[in-house]
Structure 1
Amino acid sequence: MITIKEIAKLANVSGATVSRVINNAEYVSDEVREKVMKIVDEHQYVPSEHAKALRTKQSKVIGVILPKISTETASRIVNGINETLASSGYQIILATSDLNLLNEIKFLKLFKSRQVEGIILNATNTSTELLEEVKKLTIPFVAIGQKFPDESFVTYHNYEVAKGLTSYLINKGHKKIAFIGVDEKDVAVGYERKKGYLDTMKEFSLPIDENWIKTGSFDMTFGDEAMKSIMNHSLSKPTAVFAVTDRLAIGAMRYLKKNNYSIPKDLAIVGIGASELGEFVEPSLTTVDFNNEEAGREAAQLIINKIKNKNIENNKIILNYRLIERDSV
């Protein structure tokens, strides 16, 4: 491939003149511009995107960090991000932290060094270490899923949804409601959803058995194991289960079905996430749709706005949700 230096030699002009012609800058005569462009066209010269990015400081690339790349939630978020960014001429680079805080910090540093124009982080928590690293960034940043105090973010009504689902089960006649959650270091999914459950049980003056509450990983396997522990170690068996994600709920359903419990006759189950799998399991899962695609679109638009205006105020977006009633209750 021909270089700018070689084009300059063939046109008998300086390399700086060739650069001005290619970038459509002023201060070049029509005669010189025509001569240079003729050589460019003949040799099908394509400018280096990396060199262009270094020169203009506009790589048109956004770094996106996800906790897991294989989940349906992540896929929907990325679809929303990519849809909005692509329509504005941006591309994305994906990285997965595997739910590891140190990996999130590592990718923040890596993307910053790779000339991306902005970073979107679907964070697993809001630890002091992560917040400090975000403060060091000199490029636009947007969080998804967690509330970052001094940054733009897009998140969900986690506490309100947990209260709503618990109240929903109570209104269906259930008083003994078990809970399957995740580590409370994940403030949004772990802490806020558990607090919503606990507060609602207390508001209705209902019993809370410690043996009914299990927290662990996001895996379906943990949902299975948690349900087993709840059923085997509780003197008084629950009649309903609130799982903080569809995957955990489906794992719990697997244990119950293996052990000949009837859903919802013996136990009702609800999840959060509106996963496609939840629609096709038997019985189909009652759940909440957070509209993850919209979260991706909103985050992408926020990052574009921050790139265009470095002094724009941080925007905090909390998305609406909807209950999807199916057959598991």
Structure 2
Amino acid sequence: MITIKEVAKRANVSSATVSRMLNDSGYVSEEARDRILKVIEETGYVPSENAKSLRTKKTKVIGVILPKLGSETTSRMVNGLDRVLAAEGYQLLLANTNLNAGKEIEFLKLLKSRDVEGIVLSATNTNDLLLAEIQKLNIPFVVVGQDMPDTPSVVFKETSAAQEMIDYLIEKGHVKVAFIGVSESDRAVGMLRKKGYLAAMKEHDLPIEDHWIQTAVFDVESGYHAMKNIMEKSDQRPTAVFAVTDRLAIGAMNYIKEAGLRIPEDMALAGVGASELSQYVTPSLTTIDFQYNNAGQEAANLILSLINQKNIPKGKIVLDYGLVKKDSV
């Protein structure tokens, strides 16, 4: 295999000159550049990426910590990341926590040991241990989906979106609105979306029965059982249900249908995520579109700004949302 020394010898230049040209790290005359390029073309020389990274201290790899690889919202965010970063010559190294918050810290340490140039975390929690580990990183870091103090972040209008959805349900005549959420350890999805639900109900001076609020996990089956609890334990049956993810809403939809109720005539239903599946269930699901692909692109631009120390935005990046009105309401 041809080496950089052989290229230098054939081009009648020093190895340092070849290195400067390949890494664009210093002056090389046009004449020398032409000779080097001619030798590279003739020999098919390809620089070793490992050697190049040792010289430049750049691996061109971004670590990405994800909560669940099978999630459509996750894949859309990763697509947005990859679209921007690949255009700049970067590769992604993915780590999947499978919704195990403890693995977030484990993967932060692992990715740092792999000399990635930056880390993007799609976080599920904001606990003190995680924050302490982030502060030790000393490499560019961006979090998506959670608002962490003193940390570059891309976040969504979680509370406003949930509140607007409840306002929409109330506008459609529903005064008995139930809620299917997740653990509040996930601040964005569990706490802030619930905050929007409670704020809207309070603003309209509407009562909330205890069993109308159920906590689930992030899957269809859990949404089914949460809906079952609402129906079986409530003194008054709600006429609408807001679930904090589309998967939970679709699980609830399955139970509602099994109970012999019609959607939306007997029970209105809404979710969050604007997933592809939400548009193909019957009836199609009213939902909130947070544009996760755009979130990935914003996170990619932010990590590049931090790596290059250029055009770094001040404060967090807050993305807007859209209310997708379909047949389930």
Normalising by structure 1, we get a TM-score of 0.91
Gaps (5+ residues) in structure 2?
A: none
Paired position in structure 2 for 1:165: 165
CA contact (8 A) 2:146 2:187 kept: yes
Match of 1:285 in 2: 285
1:212 paired to 2:205: no
Secondary structure of residue in 1 paired with 2:318: strand
Deviates more, 1:21-30 or 1:158-167: 21-30
The correspondence of residues 96-175 of structure 1 with structure 2, limited to 5 A, is 96-175=96-175
Cα deviation 1:52-84 (Å, max 9, x = unaligned) = 112101222211111111111011111111111
Counterparts of 2:164 and 2:36 in 1: how far apart (Å)? 67
Moved more, 201-210 or 277-286: 201-210
Mapped contact 1:60–1:117 kept (Cα < 8 A): yes
Contact 2:246-2:287 within 8 A present in 1 as well: yes
The amino acid across from 2:181 in the alignment is: G
Q: Which amino acid aligns with 1:237?
A: R
- Give the aligned partner of residue 88 of structure 1: 88
Structure 1 counterpart of 2:49: 49
User: Match of 1:111, SS?
Assistant: helix
Match in the other structure for 1:186: 186
Is the 8 Å Cα contact of residues 140 and 310 (structure 1) preserved in structure 2?
no
Partner Cα separation in structure 2 for residue 212 and residue 92 of structure 1: 42
- Cα RMSD for the two superposed structures: 2.5
Q: Is the 8 A contact 2:305 2:311 kept in 1?
A: no
**For the structure 1 residues 289 and 313, does the alpha-carbon distance in structure 2 shift closer, same or farther, using more than 3 Å as the test?**
closer
| Partners of 1:218 and 1:183 in 2: CA distance | 10
Cα shift readout 1:282-302 (whole Å, capped 9, x = no counterpart): 111111111111111111111
1:196, 1:45 → 2: CA distance? Answer: 59
Tell me the CA shift for residue 2 of structure 1.
Answer: 3.4
Q: Tell me, which stretches of 5 or more residues in structure 1 are unaligned?
A: none
Contact 1:239 1:266 in 2 (8 A): yes
The SS at the match of 2:98 is coil
Contact 1:302 1:315 in 2 (8 A): no
Q: Does 1:321 align with 2:315?
A: no
Alpha carbons of structure 1 residues 16 and 98: separation in structure 2 relative to 1, 3 Å = same
Say whether the 8 Å CA contact 1:77–1:294 is kept in structure 2. Answer: yes
Tell me how many residue pairs correspond in the alignment: 329
Shift of 1:89: 2.3
CA distance in 2, matches of 1:170, 1:74: 31
- Structure 1 residue identity aligned to 2:193: R
Q: 2: CA distance between counterparts of 1:211 and 1:164?
A: 22
- Alpha-carbon distance, 1:243 to partner: 0.4
Counterpart residue identity of residue 172, structure 1: K
Q: Distance in 2 between matches of 1:188 and 1:282?
A: 28
Q: Percent identity?
A: 58
TM-score of the aligned structures, taking structure 2 as reference length: 0.91
* Residue in 1 that maps onto 2:221: 221
Between the aligned partners of 1:154 and 1:15, the Cα distance in structure 2 is: 44
Letter in 2 for 1:153: S
> Which secondary structure state, in structure 2, belongs to the residue aligned with residue 51 of structure 1?
helix
